[in-house]
Structure 1
Amino acid sequence: MAAKKLLVDIHTHVYLPRYASVLRSRTTVPFIRTDASTQQERLLILDHEPSGGRPVGPQYWDREEKLNFMDKHGIHVSVVSSANPWLDFLPASQAHTLAAELNTDLEEYCSTSPSLSSSDIQIKRLYGFGLLPLVPSISTSALLEIVNQISALPHLKGLIMGTKGVGKGLDDPALDPIWGAIEKAGLVVFLHPHYGVDASAYGEQENGHVLPLALGFPFETTIAATRLILSGVFDRFPNLRLLLAHSGGALPALSSRLASCIDHDPLVASRLKHDARYYLGKVYLDAVAYGPEELGFVSDTIARAARYEQGSPISIKKELKRSLGSKRILFGTDHPFFPPLSKSEKWRSVVENLEAIDAVQGWTEADKDGVRGGNALELFNLPN
């Protein structure tokens, strides 16, 4: 099978058994509890979870369940990440120890997974994003130790990160040594939301999980990524490779408004080397958007980024090549969340996102193959 035809899932989660055990031992959010009437385990990761939390089972931690899901949907390779809420609810020393243990567990989970039997290249079916113990009071040396651990584990290709940093957000200057080490190691940072936005914004009408998940999570990503841009992180670390969940949230749609506001605020404008829209060409986005129009728009915002490099001669009126933007977009499923109601059904997160990729106007078949898998092979330096 040609490498460019591989289907690679870069947004797929696991609660490793060690981590599930920690959650079972807790009595406050986040925790796993057993429903007394049904004996079904339920996961609560936020306060006021609708329906008393989400039902969980082997698909959350069993590797065979992950591989079965992949086989059912024709997914050849997955880059697996621990699911939120990660470790920021733990004291620094416990978070540091657990991160190191979970990274070792994830390396074993991936390294002992099967290889692609139908491929003439040597590639495993599972790779992973490690964990950083980003919690208040953690020392820089402890974080650097974990970055070094992840970079030394051959099947971990990056790390997943929430939006809080060590308590003050990802624009905290205290993180600069960490960004530098991540950049030097060539690791990919997968930025993923957890907290959403202030729940009071959702009002009193009962809407289940729709507003927190459909809007709260992407807005959290939007704000975190924008703060990174405003802080100049991408200027100080130009080779930092950042992957944004959920197609970057609202950032693509608001990027021109953001640029205008920056231009009218000398305090912020003086920090940045380029127009804000330039930095959208520095990030990678997953394709968990569910619609071809949304993916096409995201692709356009990436494709136009070079126009906004300081000193660029490129005219804003020059026709965009949407194809260029496809190079930084990667397929994902968000498994094991949002399962189908019937075991015989395929997951909508797979079917609809693949249909969206296939229907984007202005992408060639080579572009679509790239989004489905080729871009991931290149980003994570996997055999191809």
Structure 2
Amino acid sequence: MVKKDEHIPLIGIEEHFLTEEVIQAWDRANLSASDPSLAHNAGVIGQRLLDVSQGRVELMDEAGVDVQVLSLTTPALHELGPESINIAKRCNDAIAETIVRHPGRFQGYATLPVVDPEAAALELERCVKTLGFKGTMLGGRVGDRNLDHPDFAPIFESASALHVPVSLHPRTPPIAVREAYYSGMSPDLEIALATYGLGWHYDAGVQFVRLLVSGLFDRLPKLQLILGHWGEMVLFFSERMAALGRSAKLDKPVMDYLKSNLYVTASGMFSANYLARAASIVGKDRLLFSTDFPYQYRPGHDARRFLNECGLEGEELAAFAHGNWDRLTKNCGQ
């Protein structure tokens, strides 16, 4: 039983970092020409992404977050070539060192060289079994391939075998999509609408739906995926999605997969209404906490404030704060 005034450990499971090496690799690939979201990583945000030391810990303390699960920010290594294999290893080793330097404050998601799915599967295994990481984060399409492409099966098979979750993170829609749906306005507004304003979240939601209707969960029934931002639009249209299961000839109704293969997290969208909607679809035992650091960082003990005002109490509150994540990841690598 959780006592009213007891300190509840708070784990943020979608908290981002960046390295100078990744920035340089993006620059060599001229990635900013096709992905305007890279501009969001400048200034104070960029400084906070690069800092995985005391400065970050101080901001965690200010927000009321006890533990961050670190993940490489979007677009990660999805648009890089074979050099991403060694870049991924160095990213993961650096996070492992951060975890050691700050005992009890950090956990890690594996950064994967997704251009080579076999190498990515092996790196995920190394990260989980050797470095103690808790899963991986994927950032949507890889080049022109969506995540349901058969090429990426080894990654999901590895995650299922290792009993670790796969978090799906938004990324910028392709240029053709941006031109069709997010153009005709001022350049700044076009970018905002195509990225954090809307486009990112549709993109992540579509990736999840494609994976679901591909039969991924019929093939790997124990695999667990995570969607941020209270389900990246998907949960709010779950009733309409029910027909997809019949068209896709899935083994079970779509709602069953949402309740057995999906976790959702806040990503700094601190809304009790969204939490209640998510809980009504996936269940309170599948809600996870996150702040989307540093993008949604707000001073004023903001994370702890939402925990106190989110509408949950007792064991359900503790489960949202840390218990559901602890249960989800307790068998990692076993």
* Map of 1:37 onto structure 2: none
Counterpart among 54, 60, 70 of residue 49 in structure 2: 60
Counterpart among 280, 288, 296 of residue 330 in structure 1: 288
Counterpart among 149, 161, 167 of residue 190 in structure 1: 167
Residues 22-46 of structure 1 show CA distances to partners (whole Å, capped at 9, x for unaligned) of: 44x547234xxxxxxxxxxxxx982
* Map of 2:31 onto structure 1: 29
- For residue 178 of structure 1, report the CA deviation from its aligned partner: 2.5
Question: Secondary structure of the equivalent of 2:71?
Answer: strand
Distance 1:152 1:48, change over 3 A: closer
Task: Normalising by structure 2, report the TM-score.
Answer: 0.85
Question: Secondary structure of the equivalent of 1:228?
Answer: helix
Residues 162-221 of structure 1 show CA distances to partners (whole Å, capped at 9, x for unaligned) of: 111474211112222322221111222111011146223124233365422131111111
1:276 aligns with 2:254: yes
* Map of 1:374 onto structure 2: 323
2:16/2:72 contact within 8 Å kept: yes
The whole-number CA distance in structure 2 between the counterparts of 1:153 and 1:104 is 10
Equivalent pairs counted in the alignment come to 318
The whole-number CA distance in structure 2 between the counterparts of 1:332 and 1:188 is 15
Q: Structure 2 regions of 5+ residues with no counterpart?
A: none
Code of the residue aligned with 2:160 in structure 1: it is E
- For residue 338 of structure 1, report the CA deviation from its aligned partner: 4.0
* Map of 2:211 onto structure 1: 228
The whole-number CA distance in structure 1 between the counterparts of 2:172 and 2:279 is 27
The whole-number CA distance in structure 1 between the counterparts of 2:210 and 2:244 is 14
1:199 aligns with 2:178: yes
* Map of 2:22 onto structure 1: 19
- Compare CA radii of gyration and give the structure with the larger one: 1
- For residue 99 of structure 1, report the CA deviation from its aligned partner: 1.0
2:291/2:297 contact within 8 Å kept: no
The whole-number CA distance in structure 1 between the counterparts of 2:132 and 2:278 is 30
* Map of 1:159 onto structure 2: 136
1:7 aligns with 2:10: yes
The whole-number CA distance in structure 2 between the counterparts of 1:47 and 1:59 is 19
* Map of 1:96 onto structure 2: 85
The whole-number CA distance in structure 2 between the counterparts of 1:231 and 1:359 is 38
Code of the residue aligned with 1:280 in structure 2: it is L
Q: Structure 1 regions of 5+ residues with no counterpart?
A: 31-43, 116-123, 303-324
* Map of 2:67 onto structure 1: 77
Task: Normalising by structure 1, report the TM-score.
Answer: 0.75
1:130 aligns with 2:132: no
Relative contact order: is structure 1 or structure 2 higher (C-alpha 8 Å, sep ≥ 6)?
2
Q: Over aligned residues, Cα RMSD in angstroms?
A: 2.8
Percent of aligned pairs with the same residue?
23
- For residue 327 of structure 1, report the CA deviation from its aligned partner: 1.0
